[in-house]
Structure 1
């Protein structure tokens, strides 16, 4: 029996623009190999920094291109060393939770970060280094911060001089609904730092992410970056730039979005058929994941052991700081048929008499 993975938050191979990237890599080396194959600017391939700066309306000097967005998080964290604890969402991406030695948490609901709870935390005297948030198609919950809350959070950032690191790798992976303004756009980039990645919009193996920071932080990051790897992988950054210059990003997003929507809908349909009335789940309009709240009394970690034996895997919500009865299901990797079968296998292991406690 072949294992069906709802654990892998990565695109399936058929979502990757392999032929286009092969052409772009060849063209990038032929065009600028003397730069891309040598040590270069510490903060990234300069033409790509300029492209990103133009896209976001900022000075390229504020753009730091890194080997993936997690590397950008590391660098920002290093820049704020000793400046206080970091506030994160509950649940949140597991890697920052593993990296941070200590952090405070603010709950999520269907409309994203609870801004009221954040304000109470700040009223209590908390002076964080920064708030780390994934406002759009959040990993792991799949929820999106509402526009009303975005505006409140942007205002709060200014009023409290609250630094925010907005992590936005999924913002362009929208296949339903209307785009929302980023916190960075609403606040003007004074206190909000903006991070993103080409892992979810082009291919994760390229390892190209970036962060936009204030000038003074960018200057301080040069030593941190140089001490980490001297220079990032410029040849993949040059490949990404060639892909962007050829206008391939939007067609790729449209093609991938159609496939992802089909997979998400397959998961919705299977969950409703197999667990309707017994469980709850988020309803993302994009991204790679949804959040599953299992029936009361279910231990997702224990369930994972039995599910793995039955040929289906997922990530327990407790890995992200969630409740014991929660789980993250990725719909990006498995085919619709595999999703249907995988949910059926999983549902067979959930106690039939149990029901989720509705709010």
Structure 2
């Protein structure tokens, strides 16, 4: 079998040192142009390419960007469009650096001792780590990743480690804006459909809602709040029950599941008409399209925009052009301007994989 050509073979054929070959391959200065051309000619003739594993052993550099999920996949309402966008964006940013991209497919495998979403860092698979999804309220993994010294970015934040490297939307502010908007229009019995129970993004939604009510001296009523799991099969029934609570005149749909037909159906079944007897503020990842065109207002979550900014900063950190941590926090945008163009319900990864966890319920 033909043996792989090594850097020593290239150096021998070129009549130069391995250090000179390395400079040529990595486009570094300090090599005469004639020598550079000679080395490149031999590289092309032999089909040589650097042995990345050997590089890793020598310099502890793997040139690998790892992507991992903080929560279990069925709890993250990731759409197929978002996953494709993320892959394309990471390719765009890191391809010119010759980086590898690794997705952790089993961050919580029961067969792996001590497994968590940081295992690719502990096993030294990555040179940089991107953490997708909301972070648990009592998260301790992010701080451990931080202490490892590896460049990293969480697409979410947590009160457990506020100084961590993150790019996120301010969900607290979104809930505060949404509730204030409805309160200013005379609504007092405001239902909240939320998500991410036990995660910071869920806590921030409840906190913003509660604080806005407190500003008007309206007590927090837990019967007006329901949590939703993105892969549950009974969301419509639970939302119908929530809207059937006595005296409810408004809804904040903060899950960003972006299922307008479900909201419309639940409103009708509970005796309301979305945008008619029921005022709705609907959260969405879309800047222009409407989940529910007849909604009273729409709250845009600029998740893609803050992710782009964070990923570019992560690339700079990885190549040593900046230090960490990264702190990117974007504000949501509430608008009551008409949005006549309705969006199609996105396909969620959990749904595609067949997750059906009936985990939507009211919480005291």
Question: Do both proteins adopt the same fold according to a TM-score greater than 0.5, normalized to the shorter chain?
Answer: no
Task: Name the structure, 1 or 2, with higher relative contact order (CA <8 Å, separation 6+).
Answer: 1
TM range, normalised to the smaller chain?
Answer: under 0.3
TM-score using structure 2 length:
0.25
Q: Which structure has the greater CA radius of gyration?
A: 2
Structure with the bigger percentage of helix: 1
Q: TM-score, structure 1 length as denominator?
A: 0.26
